[in-house]
Structure 1
Amino acid sequence: MPGGTRLRCQSPEPDTPRRIRSRIAIAAAIAAAIFTLDALTPLDIAVAVLYVVVVLIVAPICSRRSMIAVCCALMSMTVIAFVMSHGGTYAAAPVARCIVSLAALAISGFLTLKNIAATDVLREQVTLLDLTSDALVVYDMKRRICFWNRGAHALYGVAAEDAIGRAPHEIVRTAFERPLAAMLAELLRTGRWEGELAQTCRDGRELIVASRWTLQRDAQGHPLAVLVTNNDITQRKRMELEIERQQQEIRAAIDAIPAMVWVSSADGRPVFVNERWSEFGVPLDRIGDSWHTLVHPDDLPQMQRDWRHALATGTSLENESRVRRGDGAWRWSLLRATPLIDELGHIVRWYGVTTDIEEPKRAAEALARSESFLAEAETLSETGSIGFSVPRFEMFWSKQAYRIFGYPDDAEPSLQAMLARVHPDDHARVSSLMKTAATDRNDIDAEFRLLMPDDDVKRVHLVAHAVAHVAKTGGEQSEYRGALMDVTEARNVQDALHRSLAELAHVTRITTLGELSASIAHEVSQPIAAIMTNGDAGMRWLERDEPQLDEVREALNNMLRDARRAGGIVQRIRMLAKKSAPNRVPFDLNALIEESAVLVQREIGVHAIELRLQLAQGVLTIVGDRVQLQQVVINLMMNAIQAMASTTGRPRRLAVCSSCTQANEVRVDVEDSGPGIAEADLQRLFQPFFTTRAEGMGMGLSICRSIVESHGGKIRAYAQPGLGATMSFVLPNSSSLLSVAVDGTKV
């Protein structure tokens, strides 16, 4: 405190107007009584000395000037009373007593004025303490509050009259960072303590305060009181926590950046790097003075030139160099750095990002090669790039597209120009396709024909993908980007391939018939032998003396039945052997399986195989080429029979099953009990020229797959080595729509 004044344990309280008026009335009454007593009574005593009581009564409510006026008035009253009481006679004793009274009034006034001056200083100090925003609290060594300023009132919401005389914990709950006894012991030892405290007010508010405790001692050094200064730092702490959280988020964000972020001093010494540097495998100590050892020797001179230029000019730095990873591998990296310059123009910090561009570098090189290859490939493959916007149909053609349409390079690409080249038979379909693309924004995949000016016909395949983008005029529109391929030669080759496959399938059927010749001869010889037997019997019935016409009629009927049976067998064989175009019609798959079982019956008997037909109930109608599918069934059954030819020690069983699947398909399973198929062979079983038999050609199953897939089905093989194999194929039933090629599109 100023002048070494101690802080009082009780702050002076200002008097209220009512109290002031009471003091003045009491002082006036006492002064009047003393004056009356001094002036009207012949007492030989210094009655005027009692005016000191009046001085003491009015002292707390008077200013310095008022007190001087009061003292002068009282001294005047003393003189007046002396004159009135002694008339014109002034003895030495009364005069002495009057002088003593005046001296007493003067001394008491002087002392009072001095006390008023001290009180004013104290009051000013207390006022200053009340004006501070910090909470100031004084409590004695019994922990009873004896001073509570306005800052404490504002902070805790408790008035001084409610706080003074109470213990601090009764006003606010405090959570101490360590035991209170230890904190008080430190206060007594050092005279000071400071730290942060968490406090809870009566209204539930939680505060964090910076608290400073100062111990006040008396003249003998004994502890007298504790001055506590609390500063509300709740918002600051929250801000610090928020700043710390934001810093952590920023650090996490910087660490998550897919690049190596760094900060260096003005001379380039790193002071901060993010987590990506550790992933790159470069320790921080290697990025310091020896950073140049990380740069590829061929790239180091340019790096140094760029760095010196940036240091000299204070401009940003950008450089591409190969940097050595921790594992010794060289990686292309892009270094960008920006300086932080102070108000004097000096570089303070460098903020930089080093990005691994090894993959983009390779991708850029690959893209350049790809663009070069694409230009050559368009010419070699006769594939042009084409693009158009909808609904305006502003078109783009590559040079190869111009050549496919037969237009010069300076012609304006347009929908009308394209449609002008479309074959008349395909014109309506292509026009409808373009109108649909303008409204539905669906991808385009279509084949159609072009009629050229020289009457040459081209077959082209247009594939385009819709991409949404913002137009220059504003708004969103779609653009188709695709390829136009001249597939004339490919379709000619494909047609030739189909013809070759048909020829090969026919040859395979003939080969199969050759393998089944013994079975066919056996099946045909039975009805022929029956015909001969019935003919001989009929002749004998006719040669009798009395011909037996009923028996002859029955013999003739039997001959006709067997002849039809033999004719049916021959007809089915001719159908298998006949070379004809595929003819897809509805037929019963169960009947086809039964007929195929008849044709392989002798092979089944020769190899002592037990045949089980597990066919679906009722008629199993499908749409397809009967001859081709019968070839598939016979081929699978013959493969199963040949697979079991070498099986010994267990029954040889062949099961042919037909069923309907939940996916609305027809399924046929041919299961044998042979040695099975190796796992490695299952992946190549349907490839051309692959066979597991020494005498096999490797074309049977490949042809079977081609036939099944051309009918919209799939064929698969399942095997358990040593336990047999199952060949299974599925076909759409008669209620499914088959995909039929019509000018390259699907209906």
Structure 2
Amino acid sequence: MSDLNGRRAAVKDPLVDASGASPAARNSAPAAAGARGAASRASAASGHAAAASRRAAASHVACPIVAPAGDALPDDARSHASAARQDSPQNKLPRMGIAFAIAAAIFLVDALTTLDIAIAVLYVVVVLIVAPICSRRSMLAVCCALMALTVIAFVMSHSDIDMVPPIGRCIVSLAAIGISGFLTLKNIAATDVLREHVALLDLTSDALIVYDMKRRIRFWNSGAHALYGVSAEQALGRSPHEVLQTAFPLPLADMLAELRRTGRWEGELTQTCRDGRELIVASRWTLQRDLQDKPLAVLVTNNDITQRRRMEIEIQRQQQEIRAAIDAIPAMVWVSSTDGRPVFVNQRWSELGLPLEQIGENWHTLVHPDDLPQMKSDWSHALATGAPFENESRMRGGDGAYRWVLLRATPLTDDDGHIVRWYGVTVDIEERKRAAEALARSESFLAEAETLSETGSIGFSVPRFEMFWSKQAFRIFGYPDTVEPSLRAMLARVHPDDHARVSALMKAAGASSADTDRDIEAEFRLTMPGGAVKQVHLVAHAVDAGHEASEFRGALMDVTEARNVQDALHRSLAELAHVTRVTMLGELSASIAHEVSQPIAAIMTNGDAGMRWLDRDEPQLNEVRAALSNMLRDAQRAGGIVQRIRTLAKKSAPNRAPFDLNALIDESALLIQREIGIHAIELDLQLTDDGLTIIGDRVQLQQVVINLMMNAIQAMAAIAGQPRRLTVRSSFSQDDGARVDVVDSGPGIAEADLQRLFQPFFTTRVEGMGMGLSICRSIVESHGGKIRACSEPGCGATISFVLPNSTREEKREPVAVGHT
């Protein structure tokens, strides 16, 4: 700007004096007659030549900037600018010809005439003509040649004795030529420097534009051409805002007012290139004033900041997105300086009830008093050592309640390892804390429950069989906690008699690793180091563990005591069932006696008849043989009755074997035949034609059938005036099991009594013990069946039981494996 302002000063210097004369010319004394007059005129001509030289130099300096004539410049400056524009290379030869012609004419006039004037002073015009096209060396040669011509013309034209006046005129001419040449050389040197500066300005990448106060472009550098795509020829003389379609951030009048007031204006403008692209430029305007402080021109410097502005906008957008993301994080993010003072907190901190700008100085007031000392200690240690910070404390929320939070922070260091920032996050862990406490309580309860119930947790992956045991499982297996759980350690404790079955079970579990619906259930024995034997029950369910593997998770129960109690219970139930059967036989003694007495009476009758046939004069052996056959048949019949009674009364271990359920119902009906007759019961046996073969203990199931039929007979004993009907029906159930229904026409069972009908010691009879139906339920369920009762008051009752068919019988084994 200083160079440009200097050039503008150079433009204005010759315009200060409107007359165009130099101070030396204005101060020259009036010329006298003779030589003094000639010298005076020569001096004036030299002064005019010097002023003209300065104006020409000034016009050359201003030429690159104020190429077109502008109304802002004086007329003589515009004329010199026009003259300067003609000094182009194509005008060089004509200019030299004109200068040569004028020089020759001056020489001829000066040499061939005897005019008493300093004609050689006119050589100054030649100097001025060739000045724009000559270098410094060429100009020096021209001046020397012109001085030589002056001397030659002087010698040729003056041979008088009185040589003083001509010599004076010659000296004046030589001085005029020398002075004008010297000034011209000085102007050429200054012009070359200024042209170099202007060329440098033209090389800059910034757009430099100069326009006058009528907003007409006077200068347009190559940077502007490259930036906007508009050449100098297209821009000069036009309004810059018209050429660039400038969009102003403020009214243009306000911007120009500020420019006139301060001399400068800076801001960002949106301008349009020739190809239609919009640019954002950083524009700086500088106002140039003349010596009278009047505005002369405006220098505009524009820098393309489109990419930078777009990047700033993108960075700002990203910063906003990052800030929004940080604010959206379900945690309290914070940044602190190297001394630990918070310098940034995200929006989540507002949930604590303090304005965000106050948290930096008052964060410690949010911490629970009991937790604050430890937090300060941990934070001070982190600041002193640079180690990551972590602390769990309670902080007060906006509702005044304290919640557990986890604070973590990591330092950011520079290249030298010095900490420049701490970045931290505070996470609400109240729910996690409560969950952890609940989990700890649950684990404690589980451990106590496992200990009390003698049940351990066990899990293993397949097919690798990586195992997990709980503490109770270690105790069940008899291993210390230091032993690594493994299948080998488990099988080492399995009883030898169960080892093969348990190994096969685990092998089958490993083979079906892809089946996540598989359940396993096993009951086996363990042999302890001291020789003690435990009975354990393993139940596990397969779950998907990913990566083409699965896990079995389950429980290992020590059922030794339970099995001992169960065995004792079974023995007690067997004793009770035997007592019940004996009691039932006592109740059926009359029927039994009647059944036995019939074949005995027949035996006696047949024996008496046989004796009579033998006492005849001619024994009738055939009749005797027939009587004996009848006796044997009746004896076998009586023996069968006695055998069945003995079987019912005999105390023996359960013996399960296949038998026909329909045949058992027929035999049971025979045993209570007398009771049916005494109570006038109509017995209706509706037995299925298809065989009902089941697997079970015949004696126990016959006890069930007889007990149900006797209960039905006793229920109908008190009714009168209506038929007493007992129906025993056998059929197949919906699941293909064997079903037996015992239906009576008695008064029925009350709804409240149905819920307790199969409970021990519950009875509706005064003389009953209440054990019959309870024992029936135990026997049926021990055979894998179900028993139930239904009744409508006044319409009788139905008691039904269902047993597995022989083809679908599932034996209750010590080890069982199944699918769900």
Aligned match of 1:6: 8
Aligned match of 2:510: 434
1:745 paired with 2:802, answer no
In 2, Cα distance between equivalents of 1:490 and 1:246: 71
Quickly say closer, same or farther: Cα 1:186–1:362, change in 2 above 3 A: same
Q: Is the Cα contact below 8 Å between 2:287 and 2:297 reproduced in 1?
A: yes
Q: Is the Cα contact below 8 Å between 1:384 and 1:401 reproduced in 2?
A: yes
In 2, Cα distance between equivalents of 1:741 and 1:217: 117
In 2, Cα distance between equivalents of 1:399 and 1:333: 33
Quickly say closer, same or farther: Cα 1:330–1:414, change in 2 above 3 A: closer
Aligned match of 1:110: 182
Shift of 1:75: 0.9
In 1, Cα distance between equivalents of 2:482 and 2:366: 54
- SS of equivalent to 2:226: helix
Aligned match of 1:218: 290
- SS of equivalent to 2:323: helix
Moved more, 178-187 or 146-155: 178-187
Aligned match of 1:462: 540
| The structure with more radius of gyration | 2
Quickly say closer, same or farther: Cα 1:741–1:15, change in 2 above 3 A: farther
Shift of 1:44: 6.3
In 1, Cα distance between equivalents of 2:326 and 2:543: 39
- SS of equivalent to 1:328: coil
- Given candidates 329, 339, 352, the residue that maps to 1:280 is 352
Shift of 1:137: 0.7
Counting aligned pairs with the same residue, the percent is: 64
Letter of the structure 2 residue corresponding to residue 485 of structure 1: L
Q: 1:688-703 to 2 correspondence within 5 Å?
A: none
1:450 paired with 2:524, answer yes
Q: For CA contacts below 8 A with separation 6 or more, give which structure has more relative contact order.
A: 2
Q: Is the Cα contact below 8 Å between 1:463 and 1:484 reproduced in 2?
A: no
Post-superposition CA distance 1:297-320 (Å, at most 9, x none): 323333444455566667665443
Letter of the structure 2 residue corresponding to residue 431 of structure 1: K
1:145 paired with 2:217, answer yes
Quickly say closer, same or farther: Cα 1:10–1:411, change in 2 above 3 A: closer
Aligned match of 1:512: none
In 2, Cα distance between equivalents of 1:568 and 1:45: 182
Residue correspondences, number: 538
Shift of 1:72: 1.8
Aligned match of 1:258: 330
Shift of 1:461: 1.4
Q: 1:630-645 to 2 correspondence within 5 Å?
A: none
Post-superposition CA distance 1:118-163 (Å, at most 9, x none): 4234324423432443221111222221111232223223332332
- SS of equivalent to 1:133: coil
Aligned match of 2:256: 184
In 2, Cα distance between equivalents of 1:219 and 1:380: 111
Quickly say closer, same or farther: Cα 1:124–1:629, change in 2 above 3 A: farther
Letter of the structure 2 residue corresponding to residue 294 of structure 1: L
Quickly say closer, same or farther: Cα 1:428–1:34, change in 2 above 3 A: same
In 1, Cα distance between equivalents of 2:177 and 2:695: 149
Shift of 1:79: 1.3
In 2, Cα distance between equivalents of 1:381 and 1:232: 84
Aligned match of 1:354: 426
Letter of the structure 1 residue corresponding to residue 538 of structure 2: V
In 2, Cα distance between equivalents of 1:185 and 1:740: 110
Q: 1:163-182 to 2 correspondence within 5 Å?
A: 163-182=235-254
Shift of 1:199: 1.3
- Given candidates 474, 477, 482, the residue that maps to 2:553 is 482
In 1, Cα distance between equivalents of 2:317 and 2:186: 59
Letter of the structure 1 residue corresponding to residue 139 of structure 2: M
Q: 1:294-373 to 2 correspondence within 5 Å?
A: 294-306=366-378, 317-337=389-409, 351-373=423-445
Letter of the structure 2 residue corresponding to residue 6 of structure 1: R
In 1, Cα distance between equivalents of 2:438 and 2:196: 85
Q: Unaligned 5+ residue runs, structure 1? A: 469-475, 501-566, 583-620, 632-637, 644-686, 690-696, 698-702, 712-736
In 1, Cα distance between equivalents of 2:414 and 2:505: 72
In 2, Cα distance between equivalents of 1:99 and 1:240: 73
Aligned match of 2:672: none
- SS of equivalent to 1:354: strand
Shift of 1:237: 1.5
- Given candidates 117, 121, 129, the residue that maps to 1:57 is 129
Q: Is the Cα contact below 8 Å between 1:211 and 1:229 reproduced in 2?
A: yes
Q: Is the Cα contact below 8 Å between 1:339 and 1:350 reproduced in 2?
A: yes
Q: Is the Cα contact below 8 Å between 1:460 and 1:488 reproduced in 2?
A: no
In 1, Cα distance between equivalents of 2:315 and 2:755: 72
Letter of the structure 1 residue corresponding to residue 220 of structure 2: W
Post-superposition CA distance 1:444-498 (Å, at most 9, x none): 4222443656998754212243434xxxxxxx7746362343396999899999x
In 1, Cα distance between equivalents of 2:522 and 2:469: 18
In 2, Cα distance between equivalents of 1:581 and 1:124: 124
Shift of 1:350: 5.5
Post-superposition CA distance 1:260-308 (Å, at most 9, x none): 2234566665443211111233444663555443332323333444455
Q: Is the Cα contact below 8 Å between 2:351 and 2:397 reproduced in 1?
A: no
- SS of equivalent to 1:6: helix
Letter of the structure 1 residue corresponding to residue 374 of structure 2: Q
In 2, Cα distance between equivalents of 1:630 and 1:77: 164
In 1, Cα distance between equivalents of 2:86 and 2:438: 91
In 2, Cα distance between equivalents of 1:389 and 1:95: 131
Q: Is the Cα contact below 8 Å between 1:260 and 1:273 reproduced in 2?
A: yes
In 2, Cα distance between equivalents of 1:122 and 1:59: 16
In 2, Cα distance between equivalents of 1:151 and 1:401: 88
In 2, Cα distance between equivalents of 1:457 and 1:427: 17
Relative to the length of structure 1, the TM-score reads: 0.59
How big is the alpha-carbon RMSD for the aligned residues of Structure 1 and Structure 2?
5.2
Q: Is the Cα contact below 8 Å between 1:75 and 1:105 reproduced in 2?
A: yes
In 2, Cα distance between equivalents of 1:744 and 1:391: 18
Quickly say closer, same or farther: Cα 1:310–1:744, change in 2 above 3 A: closer
Q: Is the Cα contact below 8 Å between 2:463 and 2:510 reproduced in 1?
A: no
Quickly say closer, same or farther: Cα 1:27–1:491, change in 2 above 3 A: farther
Quickly say closer, same or farther: Cα 1:193–1:287, change in 2 above 3 A: closer
Quickly say closer, same or farther: Cα 1:410–1:64, change in 2 above 3 A: closer
1:244 paired with 2:316, answer yes
Q: Unaligned 5+ residue runs, structure 2? A: 10-61, 68-83, 574-680, 697-732, 757-763, 765-776, 786-807
Letter of the structure 2 residue corresponding to residue 465 of structure 1: V
